[in-house]
């Protein structure tokens, strides 16, 4: 089985698409993380393996070294895959208390479709458009 970490994001979200496009060229190593659409078959299978509390959350997920993270915890941990001048921000952002980070995450998530145009097609592999 492939041991690459997985970032599960909404394939129908402009912010998620822009985030994946931003992250990909800035990764330290090209194959350390895979981007998977939540709506895809693989995404749904991965979500089914998560703890019950996490399964029902409508959010971004990161499965890092077999451990699942969601919301702001997943987003901030994405910095660890990036080149040093991005990853150095990880400890600074981690100092922000989790409740405050998740409040900010929820505000952005609630307004993401207003600010970012939905993509015409999903850029994540494995998503069946039907």
Please check whether residue 33 lies inside any domain of the structure: yes
Please check whether residue 86 lies inside any domain of the structure: yes
At residue 129, does pLDDT exceed 70? no
Please check whether residue 130 lies inside any domain of the structure: no
Please check whether residue 122 lies inside any domain of the structure: no
Length of the chain counted residue by residue: 130
**Mean pLDDT, residues 60-70 taken together:** 93
Please check whether residue 120 lies inside any domain of the structure: no
Please check whether residue 106 lies inside any domain of the structure: yes
Burial of 88 (0-12, 13-18, 19+ CB in 10 A): exposed
| Tally of structural domains, the chain | 1
Burial of 52 (0-12, 13-18, 19+ CB in 10 A): exposed
At residue 22, does pLDDT exceed 70? yes
More confident residue, 41 or 11: 41
Range of the domain at 9: 5-115
Please check whether residue 100 lies inside any domain of the structure: yes
Please check whether residue 110 lies inside any domain of the structure: yes
């Amino acid at each position: 089985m492939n041991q690459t970490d997985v970032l599960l994001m909404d394939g129908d979200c402009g912010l998620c698409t822009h985030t994946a496009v931003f992250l990909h060229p800035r990764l330290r190593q090209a194959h350390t993380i895979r981007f998977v659409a939540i709506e895809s078959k693989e995404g749904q299978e991965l979500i089914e393996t998560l703890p019950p509390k996490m399964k029902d959350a409508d959010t971004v997920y990161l499965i890092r070294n077999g451990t699942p993270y969601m919301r702001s915890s997943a987003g901030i941990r994405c910095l660890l895959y990036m080149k040093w001048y991005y990853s150095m921000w990880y400890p600074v952002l981690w100092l922000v208390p989790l409740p405050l980070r998740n409040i900010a995450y929820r505000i952005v998530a609630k307004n993401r479709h207003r600010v970012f145009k939905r993509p015409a097609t999903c850029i994540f592999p494995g998503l069946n458009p039907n």
